[in-house]
Amino acid sequence: MQVYINFGGLPSWLAIAPLKRIIAETGVAIDWQPMLGNLGNVASANVKAGEEDPLADYKARRAAARSRAKARELERMCETLELSPQLGSRKIDPLFLALGLLWAREKTDGAGQMTFVETAFTQTYRTSAEPSAESVAGVTEVLKLAGVDADGFAAFCEAERESLKASRETTLQKSVLNAPAFILEEEVFNGREHLPLIEWILKGRTGTPPV
């Protein structure tokens, strides 16, 4: 199963605990894929420059509602992860952590990759460790804490960072829009809310599928 995660967002972190349990109970192998941001929910502007938008008031109200919902969701995620709102609302550039995940895929097994993922989220959001996990040096420390050989990681970043950025289009073509996302049996599931259904599939589709 392919699992797409974004180290710059709490939803991916919230998916790790249930995913870890599912792995333990089903033995499914995970092909980790990093994302540098969400790709969906992009609205195009149909109003020409200089024209009055007849839906301006509606759009403003929708934007305000989305902002309130986003704030409530952040509060719930922070409570679940036992984070302060200040730490949970930090804007994280996930580039080097994403490269760290690609490196961990080359250097260790599934258990080691999971350890890296968990360590990356913990070091990024729970601690004020220096150097920052938004740097090569910071992710090198995350790799070491996770027990992954980091020798050569800096050169790897130089060689792979542009191709990772370019992978955004390939990810979008797969209909992977938001992290976390899962591809199982050629079907794409965007969002951690699909984990109960994924678990039901992996356990043989016994009984009524979860809604």
pLDDT above 80 for 68: no
Do 81 and 91 share a domain, yes or no? no
Q: Which domain holds residue 133?
A: 2-42+86-202
Residues 163 and 107 reside in one and the same domain: yes
Residue 152 in any domain: the answer is yes
Percent of the chain with pLDDT over 90: 64
| pLDDT for 128 | 65
Share the mean pLDDT of the chain. 88
Number of domains into which the chain is organized: 2
Write out pLDDT tens, residues 103-120.
Answer: 999 999 999 999 999 999
* Domain contains 98: yes
User: What is the C-alpha separation between 79 and 121, in angstroms, rounded?
Assistant: 16
In this structure, is residue 156 part of a structural domain? yes
CATH code: domain of residue 162: 3.40.30.10
Residue 62 has pLDDT above 90, yes or no: no
pLDDT tens per residue, range 125-136: 887 666 788 999
- Same domain, yes or no: 62 and 122: no
- Residues 90 and 149 reside in one and the same domain: yes
Tell whether 188 and 165 lie within a shared domain: yes
pLDDT tens for residues 23-53? 999 999 999 999 998 765 444 445 555 677 7
Q: Per the structure block, which two tokens stand in for 149?
A: 């050989």
